[in-house]
Amino acid sequence: MAYLQLQGIEKEFGNVRVIRGIDLEIKQGEFIVFVGPSGCGKSTLLRLIAGLEETSAGTLMLDGRDITDQPSSKRDLAMVFQSYALYPHMSVFENMSFALKLAKVDEAVIQEKVGRAARILNLTDYLQRTPKELSGGQRQRVAIGRAIVRAPKVFLFDEPLSNLDAALRGQTRIEIAKLHRDLGATTIYVTHDQVEAMTLADRVVVLRDGKIEQVGTPLELYDRPANQFVAQFIGTPQMNIVPAKDLQALVNSTGLPVQPDGFIGMRPENISLCAPGHGQLNGKVELVEALGAETLIYVSIDGGVQLVARQIERTELTVGSAIGLQVDVDAAHLFDAAGHITRTGAARETLVH
């Protein structure tokens, strides 16, 4: 049975319909990530769940209780924002305990709850400091701790790592994953960063224009995208997607069952390089990105089409080098003219629409 259920959720701002009939069931203890491009509605949807925005239509159910019209304070949810929203004049302890004091919780209980949250988040030594004496990562942990002490039924995170530098983002992402595992709490996390989505989520909800494009585990979305949008949104660098007419020689030589006006999708790791004239395609190196553990090679083939190949080995290729390309056609994803998938390479299945 669903722990949190969204049924036909709609949101309009004036005449603009920003959330378009969202149906979603979330199990207790799940880590769900909302991901999508800017303006897709992911933060608005989170705010609707939190009660910070009123729904225009639909029903929100939490643990069997209708919370659609409940104020935010009565929903038993805790939200962590992109901005830390800490009281600058209060200590870490005071920031974390503020909601409990407002609720007139016994002082001994407050001490126990704040102490436990501080131990979980490695903040015990910082409880008497003020926010200005903390790093960005520590401030975000305080904001998370403030949510933990409330022991909510659902944690809501709205792009909590956006204000951190790359190193702190990676470190805090690991801490959030460990925190979820230790607490076993139901968590909804909004991000535009697909790396966060792929590494944190039990299931990912991909949104576009206020609608759900696909829901699945990170690897389900990577291996079996429902459409061209999901295929290109999930994965870095993104999937190469080329009109079939621009790869006619490849289609003819391999018998790929792609529609004439369809598209061929190839993950960069499914394109390997070889000597000129020895591959299915020939091209010229446009750019080499040597990233240490992997190398990305951008190749321009006949007709001006650019493909990206990923390899673990380092390369001596330089810009302008002639090169052959070998495509793993069994791993190719095929799409129709509307962008719907007709064959997923990973599962080698044909889908009927």
pLDDT at 152: 92
pLDDT grade for 1, boundaries at 50, 70 and 90: low
pLDDT in tens, 41-70: 999 999 999 999 999 999 999 999 999 999
Top pLDDT among 164 and 31 is at 31
Q: What's the whole-number average pLDDT of the chain?
A: 92
pLDDT at 174: 87
pLDDT in tens, 205-249: 999 999 999 999 999 999 999 999 999 999 999 999 999 999 998
Domains of the chain plus CATH, in order, are: 4-223 (3.40.50.300), 240-350 (2.40.50.140)
Please state, for a pLDDT cut of 90, what percent of the chain lies above it: 80
pLDDT in tens, 107-161: 999 999 999 999 988 899 999 999 999 998 899 889 999 999 988 999 999 998 8
**HEC profile of the chain:** CCCEEEEEEEEEECCEEEEEEEEEEECCCCEEEEECCCCCCHHHHHHHHHCCCCCCEEEEEECCEECCCCCHHHCCEEEECCCCCCCCCCCHHHHHHHHHHHCCCCHHHHHHHHHHHHHHCCCHHHCCCCHHHCCHHHHHHHHHHHHHCCCCCEEEEECCCCCCCHHHHHHHHHHHHHHHHHHCCEEEEEECCHHHHHHHCCEEEEEECCEEEEEECHHHHHHCCCEHHHHHHCCCCCCEEEEHHHHHHHHHHHCCCCCCCCEEEECHHHEEEECCCCCCEEEEEEEEEECCCCEEEEEEECCCCEEEEEECCCCCCCCCCEEEEEECHHHCEEECCCCEEEEECCCCEECCC
Mean pLDDT of 306-322: 95
pLDDT at 274: 94
pLDDT at 170: 85
Top pLDDT among 191 and 2 is at 191
pLDDT higher than threshold 80 for residue 351: no
